[in-house]
Amino acid sequence: MIMNGAPLSRPVDCEGQLSVWGTINSTDSVNAQVAGRYIPGISLNQKLGPGSSADFYLSLNAFADSRFNYNNGSREATETTDLTLHRIYARLAWPRIELRIGLQRINFGSAILMRPLMWFDVLDPRDPQQYSRGVYAALGRWYFYNNANLWLWGLYGNDETKGWEIFPSIKEKAEFGGRVQYPFYPGEIAFSYHYREMNLSRSPLPGVPMSTGKGRERKYAFDMRWDIEIGLWTEIVIAEQDSDRFSFRWQRFINLGADYTLAIGNGLGLIGEYLEIGEPETPLGSTHPQQFYALSISYSLGIADEIKGIFYHDVSRGDFYRYISLSHTLDNWRFILNGFWNPAENALIYNSEGMLVGRGLQLTLTFNH
């Protein structure tokens, strides 16, 4: 890149994503939303030597939201505007080592529709923007010659719930953990661990009573993926809560999944997952778990068009969640029209700004530059 006629010694790249969307749904009342989000970003890269480099990335999240509720002839309107950091981190990379510190996204695991290993984000597979908050963390990754890799992380300064958390972490307390991934023909296996201290005085979930004090949580995970004729995976997480605040000490998540593309037309993509969440008396004890099934079906109508359906079944409640989208891509533009038919109360952890409830339609326009 050249600025004022002189080449830059540190290449600079600017990018951005602008999204606007409108949603209307019907539950006990009729609700409408008009919203927009702009995420501008800038990255700098400097080569340090053969195979090594230094990077810096900064992006902002500018968000505006207007919602309207129509009930028995009355109209209620609320407006929200916000400007926050989206990502800011520095990265050092060598041929087999990567170090990254700052506000970043950390995710891993093979599950797609229902992720027990969703420890540090809340990413809804139905969200056209695939938006998720980041975490303030230091992350190190080491890559070995046999394709094994080791992750180590430490988090600090995070006071919002992440993933499946009921209570957020204590902002002034450090969290830490790690992960080992190892090749296991014809795929890989991995073990993960995370420790944190919880703030029991606040929770974003409705109906959760508050208390004073703190609690400790330790998470242990095993996951595996095999790619044979079809893709197969499992994620198993056992969480230990060390606090009298909880009615249970152990919580267990088990996910089984598979994906396959049928040779029909341009290819019919299928993803299926099963998830159960239980609270056994011991880590391997029996329980009466919550059970969920999920199915994703996608089909390419051409180079620029795709139709997708994502469906969830909550066995315990007897609820069904239905989502169908039609997308069209034109250069840097993407248009997505989706319809949904869901329960009036969302029992899934994904909230998508709280609008994918009841029956409704959503139109999203996204421009990337």
CATH number assigned to the domain comprising residue 275: 2.40.160.100
Q: Is residue 238 pLDDT above 70, yes or no?
A: yes
Predicted local distance difference test score (pLDDT) of residue 207: 56
The per-residue pLDDT for range 336-360, each reduced to its tens digit, is: 999 999 998 887 765 545 688 899 9
Q: How far is CA 278 from CA 146, 165, 189, 287, in A?
A: 36, 15, 23, 6
What burial class does residue 115 get, using C-beta atoms within 10 Å of its C-beta: 0-12 exposed, 13-18 middle, 19+ buried?
buried
Q: How far is CA 277 from CA 159, 163, 250, 352, 360, in A?
A: 25, 14, 11, 22, 29
What is the value of pTM for the model shown? Answer: 0.90
- Domain around 161: 2-368
Q: Mean pLDDT, to the nearest integer, of 261-269? A: 95
**pLDDT interval class at 7 (50, 70, 90):** very low
Q: How many domains does the chain have?
A: 1
What burial class does residue 263 get, using C-beta atoms within 10 Å of its C-beta: 0-12 exposed, 13-18 middle, 19+ buried?
exposed
Q: Any idea which residue has 């969640």 for tokens?
A: 321
Higher pLDDT, 245 or 290: 290
Q: Which has the closest alpha carbon to 89: 123, 44, 124? A: 44
Predicted local distance difference test score (pLDDT) of residue 211: 63
3-state secondary structure 169-207: ECCCCCEEEEEEEEEECCEEEEEEEEEEEEECCCCCCCC
What burial class does residue 207 get, using C-beta atoms within 10 Å of its C-beta: 0-12 exposed, 13-18 middle, 19+ buried?
exposed
